[in-house]
Structure 1
Amino acid sequence: MSKIQERLKEVFAQPLERGVMANIARKCDVSRPTVTAWFNLPEKVASISRSHAEIICAEYNLNVSPAWLAEGIGPKLLPAGVHHVIAEHTNVEPAPDLKKSRRVPITGSVKGGDDGYLVQDNGIDGWVDYWTSDPQAHALRIKGDSMHPRYRAGEFVIVTPSVEAQPGRDVVVKLTNGKCLLKQLNWMRDDEVQLLSINNGYAPMTISRSEIETIARVAGSVGPDSMVF
């Protein structure tokens, strides 16, 4: 008799109740012959996995350690107050941890001007909650309907200057003459940048790099109810 058979027979009353092996096979997602080998065929198996032992212990409320049952490691009995947790078996990788939201300062408001440039004002106090790790992130409140339907009046765009802007993303472009644009970055070259309008009222703009002071990526937008004081 193998060690695993000794441990299984020690914790399960003999003879086994009808249906025990079939139930273990179903819960552990293994074949019935595999479970038969665990109990009865020493030449076929030397041990079971720790995760299968966890499932068996939890399913039958066994007061034994899965490490002991699977590998004979450590004490047989669980410490007082410790309960089994069934391990989930899946081929799907666990999702990465979500970034925590933080308060992003509101630094002003903007609206689209008749010439396609932003009209800015400053002095709005408050913050919005947003999921970003950019220490320079700030929010701008949208005024008016000139950026509809992409951005609606009262919403906030989140600007993340520390994150490199990529073609296809919305950006806030500050020019050397002090004007600003809220556009979509179409392409970037060594000497020129092409921007597309948020609405269809303006043709694409191709601007010399020498005229651009900064290009800041827009990470997204949040609604008016995201504002906190």
Structure 2
Amino acid sequence: MSERYFALRVESRDMHPRIKVNEVVIYDTEDATEPDDDVVINLTNGQTIVRSLASFDGDRYRLRSYTPAAASTLRRDDVKACYPIIGRCKASFYNEIAGSAT
């Protein structure tokens, strides 16, 4: 991976069935997010979550998760960064290609 693209193994069921537990998501740290993007969110408290972005009005992120189906809101002050997910794959495939890149 470059400095622009990063991978994250999803450990929660919050986005199932869109994103399964143990899938690896690839996200882009230089591209802007748009409504309906699945996103990786780095929180100011150090946590990282994966959600679907419903909207962002400059002050609040409105988010969706799927299991359970829920809507939530985060204040801009609680979000360190929000990145669009550009791909996903099974962990075994990611491990294989990551290992061959060295």
Whether these two folds match at TM > 0.5 is yes
State whether structure 2 residue 67 is matched by structure 1 residue 213: no
- Cα distance between partner residues in 2 of 1:177 and 1:219: 25
- Residues 153/205 of structure 1: CA separation in 2 closer, same or farther (3 Å cut): closer
Distance 2:35 2:20 in 1: 23
Distance 2:76 2:41 in 1: 11
TM-score (norm 2): 0.79
More helix by share: 1
Rg (Cα) greater in structure? 1
Match of 2:19 among 151, 168, 171: 151
C-alpha change, 1:202 and 1:153, in structure 2 (3 Å) is closer
1:208 to partner: Cα distance: 1.1
Alignment map for 1:92-107 (pairs within 5 Å): 104=1
Q: Is the 8 A contact 2:62 2:74 kept in 1?
A: yes
Q: Which amino acid aligns with 2:41?
A: V
Query: Which residues of structure 2 form unaligned runs of 5+?
Result: none
Alpha-carbon offset, residue 190 of structure 1? 1.9
Residue type matched to 2:89 in 1?
V
What's the counterpart of residue 225 of structure 1? 93
1:108-119 alignment, distance < 5 Å:
none
Deviations 1:7-49 (A, max 9, x none): xxxxxxxxxxxxxxxxxxxxxxxxxxxxxxxxxxxxxxxxxxx
Offset of residue 183 of structure 1: 0.2
User: In proportion to residue count, which structure has more strand?
Assistant: 2
Instruction: Tell me: higher relative CO, structure 1 or 2? Use CA pairs within 8 A at least 6 residues apart.
Output: 2
Q: Which runs of 5 or more structure 1 residues have no equivalent in the other structure?
A: 1-103, 106-134
CA RMSD of aligned residues (A): 1.9
1:202 CA displacement? 4.8
1:1-229 map, 5 Å: 104=1, 135-143=3-11, 146=13, 147-197=15-65, 199-223=66-90, 224-226=92-94, 227-228=96-97, 229=99
* % same residue: 27
For residues 177 and 202 of structure 1, the distance between their equivalents in structure 2, rounded to whole angstroms, comes to 24
